[in-house]
Structure 1
Amino acid sequence: MAEKKKEEQEGGKKSGGKMGLIIAAVLLLAAGIGAGAYYLGSKGALPGTGSAEAARAAGANSDIIGPMIEIEPFIVNILDNDGTRYLKAAITLEVETNAGRQEVIDRMPQLRDAILLVASNKTFDELRDLQGKLQLRAELLGRVNEIMRRDRVRRIYFTEFVVQ
């Protein structure tokens, strides 16, 4: 009888030890997640990543609408095996600041050239569905922001898009 009580007490200690180990592992995991979140959250404050860049990154996801600049509609030939196809599109660029708006106006010939080159390398099949349009938008955004020096374009909106 005394042996049974001794076994039950040892069994209780073992399960208590396992529980303590589980709690310690959970706390260690939570601390690791917290440290990772702190590191990622403070990444904008590290040297070499100016606060303007952090503000831009935060602004890109905000609901605030920046200045808009319309680009005149353009028509380009697109690639197709069945014959000649065209894309007619009008684009509006959203920038972060009024200075960015002025930069877009100053660089308009460069931006139109880049947009025309990217769009004319697309095929009819790539542009006829939503995924293709979203891909074109992403490519244009990347190319336009390569050209910009002082500011950046936040979003690109297609205000007219016809493929035939």
Structure 2
Amino acid sequence: MAKKDMEQTEQPEGKKSKLPLILAIVGGLILLGGVGVGAYFLGASGKEQAPEDAVIASSTPAQKAPAGKIGPMVDVSGFIINILDRDEIRYLKAAITLEADSEAGALELQERQAQVRDAILLLVGNKTFDELRDLQGKMQLRSELIAQINTMLQQGQVKNIYFTDFVVQ
């Protein structure tokens, strides 16, 4: 009887047990699942905090408007502007909407549309591709445009500028 037990526990040399391989695969899958779940929860909490940080860091006094109060909007038709670059010919295609602080300001913006377009063309035409390709460059351009346009206005002010189209190529 002892020989029968030994014969049953011994395996031929050609066949090895697959149990260690199966345990290793199952353990690896459990480990990967745990890492995936952890990354999901850490990533979800990071995404919620990033926009708040970006808004706080990028807001300027010229961009802050009273909550719920949107001023009159004036569309400035699309632009195609050559921008500076050493290696290639590059251009910016943009459309802009200006938010005025009052109806009188919006009317003045419409009356001075040629001057506003000229100021935008001159300011943007002196920018380089590197200055316009990232968010910080666009925010800087926005604040410069607000300051430039507000210097020519007498009856109102531009509260904000919205880029409704912005393609740099």
Q: TM-score category by the smaller chain?
A: 0.5 to 0.7
Question: How far apart, in 1, do the equivalents of 2:86 and 2:165 lie?
Answer: 25
Q: 5 Å matches for 1:75-154? A: 75-154=80-159
SS in 2 for 1:100: helix
Match of 1:72 in 2: 77
Please list every run of at least 4 consecutive aligned residues from structure 1 whose deviation after the TM superposition is greater than 4 angstroms. none
Q: In the TM superposition, what is the alpha-carbon distance from 1:126 to its structure 2 partner?
A: 0.5
Q: Please list every run of 5 or more consecutive structure 1 residues that lacks an aligned counterpart in the other structure.
A: 1-56
Question: How far apart, in 2, do the equivalents of 1:149 and 1:99 lie?
Answer: 10
SS in 2 for 1:72: strand
SS in 2 for 1:101: helix
Structure with greater helix share of residues: 1
Instruction: Report how many aligned residue pairs link the two structures.
Output: 107
With structure 1 as the length reference, what TM-score do the two structures score? 0.63
Question: How far apart, in 1, do the equivalents of 2:65 and 2:111 lie?
Answer: 26
Match of 1:157 in 2: 162
Q: In the TM superposition, what is the alpha-carbon distance from 1:96 to its structure 2 partner?
A: 1.1
Question: How far apart, in 1, do the equivalents of 2:80 and 2:125 lie?
Answer: 9
Matched, 1:62 2:66: yes
The alignment-based identity, stated in percent, is 57
SS in 2 for 1:154: strand
Question: How far apart, in 2, do the equivalents of 1:99 and 1:134 lie?
Answer: 26
Computing the radius of gyration from Cα coordinates, the structure with the larger value is 2
Letter in 1 for 2:91: Y
Question: How far apart, in 1, do the equivalents of 2:121 and 2:65 lie?
Answer: 27
With structure 2 as the length reference, what TM-score do the two structures score? 0.61
Q: Please list every run of 5 or more consecutive structure 2 residues that lacks an aligned counterpart in the other structure.
A: 1-60
SS in 1 for 2:167: strand
Deviation readout 1:87-123 (Å, 9 max, x if unpaired): 0100000001111111000000000000000000000
Letter in 2 for 1:67: P
Question: How far apart, in 2, do the equivalents of 1:107 and 1:69 lie?
Answer: 11
Question: How far apart, in 2, do the equivalents of 1:70 and 1:160 lie?
Answer: 12
